[in-house]
Amino acid sequence: MANESFPAGFILLGFSAWPQVESVLFWIVIILYTVTILGNSAIILLSCVDPRLYTPMYFFLSNLSFLDLGLATASVPQMLSNLWGPDKSISYAGCVMQLCVFLCVGATEGVMLVVMAFDRYVAVCQPLRYTTIVHRPLCWKLALTAWLSGLMESLIQSPITFKLPFCAHHRLDDFLCEVPALLRLASGDTSANEWQLTISAVAFTMVPVGLILTSYGRIAQAVGKMKSEEGRQKVIAICSSHLLVVFMFYGTVAMVYTDPKTSFASKYGKFFTFFYTVVTPMLNPLVYTLRNKEVKGAFRRVLRKGICITEFG
């Protein structure tokens, strides 16, 4: 049975099949979300208040942190609400808003990771020309391109998804409103939507991964020519951690979005979604700044300044 009329809302089944897991998962998600907020907010704050971090790298990193906050906030509060109590519902307007924000932020982050890989490539392979190549106007243009790409994806994907007739029970086998789950709920022909989604998945996952691998391949060649063993080890450690998070993000997104109606995506899709909505936004600030002396120094300077203001203010 299909309900062609304006639906009152949807039921997000999430992990309701495992009620014992829900209570444990609730506290795990709260901890991860708290770390996500603190870590990403700290990067944005430090990038704004410390003049030593007014560089392209931290400009892009603060954009990535803002996107991670948006990605997690678009999904985690609703997930926590569903995990905590028996009410698993989300209004139709809430579902539309969640999907629009989620698509925009997620697609933007996919492009932003490519931009950051380009920045690292120029920094390692063209260090003497870095300031002339990656100048401030270019940084703004690259960031704007990433944001416009995400906005365009959201404006294209959201309307055609909600034009579909949905089954009358309105039960989504997921913990948030995202396109693959909505396509599985649709009662009509979704072949055109699936093709469009696959094209988008390739454009925002496969193509970016290819560009990032090309960038890091060039970096690897440059690292191989370095005479300093310490410098070589440092670059390898940083690049390997970056690539780990990149593959975790793109890999899980591709599993869910490339072919949304397969039995594999239907059965395990929510677990992959959990990674790129909860885990990856938490890992990004840790991976990109954990061994970064500049960020640690900026944090200490901000703390000292805060202590001085408290004591003498």
Distance of CA 280 to the CA centre of its chain: 7
* Phi, psi for residue 175 in degrees, rounded to 5: -105, 5
pTM of the model: 0.88
Domains of the chain as residue ranges with CATH: 8-312 (1.20.1070.10)
Q: pLDDT tens per residue, the chain (313 residues)?
A: 444 444 578 888 878 777 788 888 899 999 999 999 998 998 898 888 877 888 898 899 899 999 999 999 998 998 888 888 777 888 888 899 999 999 999 999 999 999 999 998 998 888 889 989 999 999 999 999 999 999 999 999 999 998 888 887 788 888 888 888 888 888 878 888 888 888 888 888 889 999 999 998 888 888 777 777 776 777 777 777 778 888 888 888 888 887 776 666 667 778 888 888 999 999 888 887 765 677 767 767 766 765 555 555 5
- Residue closest to 31 by CA, chosen among 82, 81, 76: 76
Separation between Cα atoms, residue 74 and residue 84, nearest integer Å: 17
